Structure 1
Amino acid sequence: MGKRPTILDVAHHAGVSKSTVSLVLQRSPLVKAQTAELVRKSMADLGYVYNRAAAQLRSGGVGLIGMVINDLRNPFFTEFAISVQMALSARGYATIVSNSDEDADLQAQVTGSMIEHGVSGLIMSPAYGDATGALFDRIARGGLPCLQMLRQVDQRTDLFPFASFDYSAGGRAATRALLASGARNIAFVGGVEGREITQERLSGYLSEMRSAGRAPFVLYGRASRAFGRDAAKVLAREHPEIDAAICFNDLVALGVHSGCAEIGRRVGADFQLIGFDDIEESAQVYPQLSSVSCDIESFGSYTAYLMAEWLEKGNKPAPEYRAPVRLVTRSSSGGPDR
């Protein structure tokens, strides 16, 4: 990442004085419209970001952090956002949080607005889509610290460090547990085909199934309860030999749980089930849902630490980090309710 452009760079590029650029930034009526447009074009060409929050931070004020989350309807991402926000608040930062709703165009819009309002840094659990590449290019031009958390959509981890969980290890642990409990035909249910996050969670399952000499069966679909509920019926009707499932996340698993109840298939007895993420509801349904647990609260605090260290001390995070996971076994896969 090159040197971040300054007001002086903009002034030189536009052929105006530093004070003129400052007046444009303040939306002063003293600057002619043609001159203001010329200055704004230079800002765009250079990737200049007017960062009020960074200036406040240097003078001992409160820094402003932008956080863009792909799906705040999912309790897993909500808990992550809350954990980050609370940890940043404890260090004196204010946080703006936006939900991109898995829409890359909306993500570009809200992130652009945050940049224009002077955030010191960005924390993104990004949505996938065509607009994402151009967005990260814009962030790179502006030299703004930006973390990719939980999902990686840009391969330039030297510019945009990435941190998530060891989902592959979670998939392996879940598959081994089901095989050990007597399951013979295990499906992987949920996740959009072709997405890296789906492949991460799927890879451990595929590896263990190959090692055990078992044929894998994957049923792709949206990471939602509705898909999981429909999947339970499809499996029972069209693939009755499937006697267990690992789900892309707990929302899908809870949907499968509900669908099995609807058709009279007993979770834990007739059909074993494991989810991913271990959201709070997993331990509140009956039978309780086994899940690959991610310590999202600690991960959120760690995210805040990474951003603060980057801003305050210039300590850029390592390009990639994977936090450990653990399997929590409950009665949906043969373990005890707790």
Structure 2
Amino acid sequence: MDKRPTIIDVAREAGVSKSTVSLVLQNSPLVRDQTREEVRRAMAELGYVYNRSAANLRQSNAGLVGLVINDLRNPFFTEFATSAQMALSARGYATVLANTDEDPALQTQVMAAMLEHGVSALIVSPAYGNEDETFGAIARAGIPTLQVLRKASPDTETFPFAAPDYALGSRLATEQLVQAGARHIAFLGGLEGRGVTDLRMAGYREVLAQAGLKPLILPGRPTRSWGREAMIRLAEQHPETDAALCFNDLVALGVSSGMARLGRAPGPDFRLTGFDDIEESAEAWPALSSVRCDIAGFGRRMAGTLLRWLEEGIRPAPETLTPVELIVRASSR
């Protein structure tokens, strides 16, 4: 006897997500008429029979979206998560939020729990590591899943990726430092071998090569404490350095703190630029130049992208880069 067709078989035949089929079965008004007809056609062709009593047992989890974040201690990721959650809530979806704290084993555990509890879709800012195990489980579940802000799985056809244009941001920042007269520019922070570090460094390398300047790269944890110690080490070992582009604003704020310990301040003698433009950047003294990613707008945009995929079967492009801009303040003038 042939195996009874499943909701996943229907989704595959109709070219939509599993969650879209579920919405059709629930007679949800969120599904377009054309999509609804395609799903019903697929059900008829496959001979799929809807078990309503079993579905009713799962009904409490309808409209549940998982939001998995690598580091909620960082205000950049917190603002993204808040904006995405509020946008999902405005459309009637509940959000399950988890912080993986850059721990791939915890990420795998969190993902498994969310899938077990029947989330309809996922937005993941992933920790690096255990990619096959983590994303393999999601692929088997067949639910719409976005990778955002950093790419861990290379399979962007299955797990579309979106992020601000980090390479452009680092290019704009480095160009401004060179135009301001800096000639010994360091890149501080970011862990080696991480895709997001390479992207945030790409424009820096490109601009220095074009200007005939030598790069100085000090990789490290993207935290304030590391930035503070890095500035002290930079002053001792590379006293000729006259500017720095930092992996993120937390590192840059730590560098500013380290300069204060040395009796210096960012500005004409040492130009300093961060990345992300978190709220504290504008409030610091002196105010910190930074690459603005409009992370709140990005969060709302990703929520909308996921819901179009979930409700209408509109799959996002494999890769999407969103605009950035350089905000020049006192620290790099």
TM-score for both structures, normalised by structure 1: 0.81
Amino acid at match of 1:286: W
- 1:236-267: CA deviations, max 9, x gaps? 11100000000000000000010001111221
- Equivalent positions of 1:47-66 (< 5 A) are 56=59, 63-66=63-66
Q: Which has the higher contact order (CA 8 A, sep 6+)?
A: 2
In structure 1, the partner of 2:39 is none
- 1:178-234: CA deviations, max 9, x gaps? 011111100000000111000000000000000000000100000000110001101
In structure 2, the partner of 1:287 is 286
In structure 2, the partner of 1:72 is 72
Give 3-state SS (helix, strand or coil) of 1:282's partner: helix
Q: How far, CA to CA, are the matches of 2:204 and 2:59 in structure 1? A: 48
- 1:42-100: CA deviations, max 9, x gaps? xxxxxxxxx9799649xxx9500001000000000000000000000011100000000
Q: How far, CA to CA, are the matches of 1:203 and 1:286 in structure 2? A: 28
Count of residue correspondences? 285
In structure 2, the partner of 1:45 is none
Counterparts in 2 of 1:267 and 1:7: CA distance versus 1, 3 Å: closer
In structure 1, the partner of 2:40 is none
Equivalent pairs: percent with the same residue?
Answer: 57
Give 3-state SS (helix, strand or coil) of 2:200's partner: helix
In structure 1, the partner of 2:199 is 200
* Moved beyond 2 Å, runs of 4+: 5-9, 51-57
Aligned-residue CA RMSD (Å): 1.9
Counterparts in 2 of 1:54 and 1:277: CA distance versus 1, 3 Å: farther
In structure 2, the partner of 1:266 is 265
Q: How far, CA to CA, are the matches of 1:83 and 1:201 in structure 2? A: 23
Q: How far, CA to CA, are the matches of 1:54 and 1:325 in structure 2? A: 45
Amino acid at match of 2:127: A
Counterparts in 2 of 1:273 and 1:8: CA distance versus 1, 3 Å: closer
- Equivalent positions of 1:117-128 (< 5 A) are 117-128=117-128
Q: How far, CA to CA, are the matches of 2:6 and 2:274 in structure 1? A: 49
Counterparts in 2 of 1:83 and 1:53: CA distance versus 1, 3 Å: farther
Mind listing any 5+ residue stretches in structure 2 that lack a counterpart? 10-53
Amino acid at match of 2:266: V
Counterparts in 2 of 1:230 and 1:53: CA distance versus 1, 3 Å: farther
Structure 1 position 141, deviation (Å): 1.3
2:224–2:254 CA contact under 8 A, matched in 1: yes
- 1:103-160: CA deviations, max 9, x gaps? 000001111111101100010000001x222110111111111100001011111100
Give 3-state SS (helix, strand or coil) of 1:299's partner: helix
TM-score for both structures, normalised by structure 2: 0.83
In structure 1, the partner of 2:152 is 153
Counterparts in 2 of 1:8 and 1:240: CA distance versus 1, 3 Å: closer
In structure 1, the partner of 2:48 is none
- Equivalent positions of 1:1-338 (< 5 A) are 6=6, 56=59, 63-129=63-129, 131-334=130-333
Q: How far, CA to CA, are the matches of 1:268 and 1:52 in structure 2? A: 62
Structure 1 position 269, deviation (Å): 2.8
Counterparts in 2 of 1:7 and 1:323: CA distance versus 1, 3 Å: closer
Amino acid at match of 1:215: K
In structure 2, the partner of 1:42 is none
Q: How far, CA to CA, are the matches of 2:238 and 2:136 in structure 1? A: 45
Mind listing any 5+ residue stretches in structure 1 that lack a counterpart? 10-50
Give 3-state SS (helix, strand or coil) of 1:174's partner: helix
Give 3-state SS (helix, strand or coil) of 2:232's partner: helix
Counterparts in 2 of 1:8 and 1:102: CA distance versus 1, 3 Å: closer
Q: How far, CA to CA, are the matches of 1:229 and 1:280 in structure 2? A: 19
Q: How far, CA to CA, are the matches of 2:153 and 2:327 in structure 1? A: 32
